[in-house]
Amino acid sequence: MIEIIPAIDLINGQCVRLTQGDYKQKKIYNTNPVEVAKSFEDAGIQRLHLVDLDGAKAKHIVNVKVLEAIAKATNLRIDFGGGIKSDEAIKMAFNAGASQITAGSIAVANPALVSRWMGEYGASKIILGADVKGLKIAVNGWQEESSAELFPFLESYLTKGIEYCICTDVAKDGLLQGSSIDLYQSILERFPSLKLIASGGVVSIEEVQQLNEIGCYGAIIGKAIYEGKITLKELEKLMVSC
């Protein structure tokens, strides 16, 4: 069964959501991310996608204290991303309580470094972040588009031994209009061994079930939870039924 992974995005230590990665389209949902994380755990959730949006923009980790606080207050397995671009940053994230880190922009800019991390920490500890605009990889908090194309990018990392990938279609993110199921299906048809985590635009329980049916390993759900389109009770029932 697909793994349900709620998202907490951080700006100034607060739980926010952006629309299509636009920092000008910011909505604050809660000033206490630890409280939000506890509510997820109380609903039976086991994993959390925690994104340091300040870090993504600044190109270094900013909200490490929030990561530490959530890791101490819950037993959630946290995958943490945003601003992880150096050996010091990845050590900081793991020392603060992250179970996995997401390598996004750095995976485009410095594949050799990410490959070394996979060797040092284990491939299962590194999630490849493939955020796409069209079929090009977007970097640095989605503020820039790289020349890297999605399928060759995925293939290059699969040959290095990557296991997990979060793929977000930036055009869908935060719009509550559904996710890129066709894109995920095409990725899984080409790379069936990839543990693909769908992200961006997930809006209903039925859609989560669709993602499960096509073989996605996980689904990251953000705005749909905060806007009440998907309730924690619904997620709890879904997890109990599987």
* pLDDT given at position 17: 83
CATH number of the domain within which 132 lies? 3.20.20.70
Q: Tens of pLDDT along 4-58?
A: 999 999 999 999 987 766 777 789 999 999 999 999 999 999 999 999 999 988 9
Q: Which residues carry out catalysis?
A: 9, 131
Q: Please determine, for residue 147, whether its predicted confidence score (pLDDT) is greater than 70.
A: no
Q: How much of the chain, in percent, has pLDDT values that exceed 70?
A: 92
Q: Please determine, for residue 145, whether its predicted confidence score (pLDDT) is greater than 70.
A: no
Residue range 185-204: mean pLDDT, rounded: 95
Structural domain boundaries, residue 222: 3-241
For residue 44 the two structure tokens come to: 């039976």
Q: Tens of pLDDT along 198-209?
A: 998 899 999 999
CA-to-CA distance for 64 and 24, rounded, in angstroms? 23
Most confident of 138-142, 162-166, 177-181: 162-166
* pLDDT given at position 133: 81
Q: Tens of pLDDT along 105-141?
A: 899 999 999 999 999 999 999 999 998 887 788 765 5
Q: For residues 218 and 197, is the Cβ–Cβ distance under 8 A?
A: yes
Q: Please determine, for residue 80, whether its predicted confidence score (pLDDT) is greater than 90.
A: yes
Listing DSSP states for the chain in one string gives: -PEEEEEEEEETTEEEEEETTEEEEEEEEES-HHHHHHHHHHTT--EEEEEEHHHHHHTS---HHHHHHHHHH---EEEEESS--SHHHHHHHHHTT-SEEEE-HHHHH-HHHHHHHHHHH-GGGEEEEEEEETTEEEETTTTEEEEEEHHHHHHHHHHHT--EEEEEETTTTTS-S---HHHHHHHHHH-TTSEEEEES----HHHHHHHHHHT-SEEEE-HHHHTTSS-HHHHHHHHHH-
* pLDDT given at position 175: 54
Which of 36-40, 76-80, 172-176, 209-213 has the lowest average pLDDT? 172-176
Q: Please determine, for residue 152, whether its predicted confidence score (pLDDT) is greater than 80.
A: yes
Q: How much of the chain, in percent, has pLDDT values that exceed 90?
A: 75
Q: Please determine, for residue 85, whether its predicted confidence score (pLDDT) is greater than 90.
A: yes
User: What is the domain count for the chain?
Assistant: 1
* pLDDT given at position 124: 97
